[in-house]
Chains A and B, each alone.
Chain A
Amino acid sequence: DSGVTQTPKHLITATGQRVTLRCSPRSGDLSVYWYQQSLDQGLQFLIQYYNGEERAKGNILERFSAQQFPDLHSELNLSSLELGDSALYFCASSVREWDEKLFFGSGTQLSVL
């Protein structure tokens, strides 16, 4: 167990809807990273937060947004969902602002029907 908790584990929704994925990092970790894993694109970095502030941005769509709260948990909001957004969304955490050793949660499987 990595210590990173993601909820829910599975999410089924319809096109056009909005969902929120939640991540609790390991105790003491200040950085949170979001990744999207799909069969065709592989693992893609979306966004990183450190101690409440955005630190790095990857291939995140404008329909997607994230934030990190004072208690350090993070939420990834996906809106106007499309079929192509179906994927496994991972959250990872690290102690430092940037660390190549990331601790991953077990992911949220999103299915858009």
Chain B
Amino acid sequence: AQSVTQLDSHVSVSEGTPVLLRCNYSSSYSPSLFWYVQHPNKGLQLLLKYTSAATLVKGINGFEAEFKKSETSFHLTKPSAHMSDAAEYFCVVNPGGGADGLTFGKGTHLIIQP
């Protein structure tokens, strides 16, 4: 069975400092991995997607994530946080198959301090 664990329920950083949101996954297969973002009172939006083409994946709004098979991790980073990055971030795994296979993490709430 597949699963994702987001290691921090809340992360607080100062504006202009780096962001690191941690995600570990468990999957019997070579999974597809994603990060989605949910801004307040909005639906989820796809940030980036890993599908084995390259281990470093660049997404929207300056975010990127690195797939590390040896560590079963897919951490999300951004060099410099902006106030508009304050949101809930979800790590998602899909080991293959359809909609019923998509598994969402519990989410990490990113707080940006001015």
Query: Which of the segments A11-19, A42-50, A62-70 contacts the partner chain?
Result: A42-50
Inter-chain contact B99/A98, CB cutoff 8 Å: yes
Q: Interface residues of B, CB < 8 Å — how many?
A: 19
* A104→B43 contact, CB < 8 A: yes
Q: Taking A42-B107, A43-B90 as contacts, is the C-beta distance between A100 and B43 under 8 angstroms?
A: no
Chain A: number of interface residues, binned into ranges: 20 to 34
Q: A43-B90, A100-B94, A101-B49 are in contact. Are A92 and B100 (CB under 8 A)?
A: no
Contact B45 A104 (CB under 8 A): yes
Which residues of B sit under 8 angstroms from A57, Cβ to Cβ?
100
Contact residues, A55-105 vs B (CB, 8 A): 55-58, 90, 92, 98, 100-105
Report the minimum CB–CB distance from A65 to chain B (whole Å). 17
Q: Mark B73-111, 1 if CB is under 8 A from A, else 0.
A: 000000000000000001000100011101011110000
With both chains docked as a complex, state the minimum distance between the C-beta of A35 and any C-beta of chain B, in angstroms: 8
**Which of A2, A43, A57, A107 has its CB near the most chain B CB atoms (within 10 A)?**
A43
Interface centre among A4, A55, A56, A102 (most CB of B within 10 A): A102
**CB <8 Å contact, B100 and A56:** yes
Residues of A whose CB lies within 8 Å of any CB of B are 2, 4, 33, 42-43, 45, 48, 55-58, 90, 92, 98, 100-107
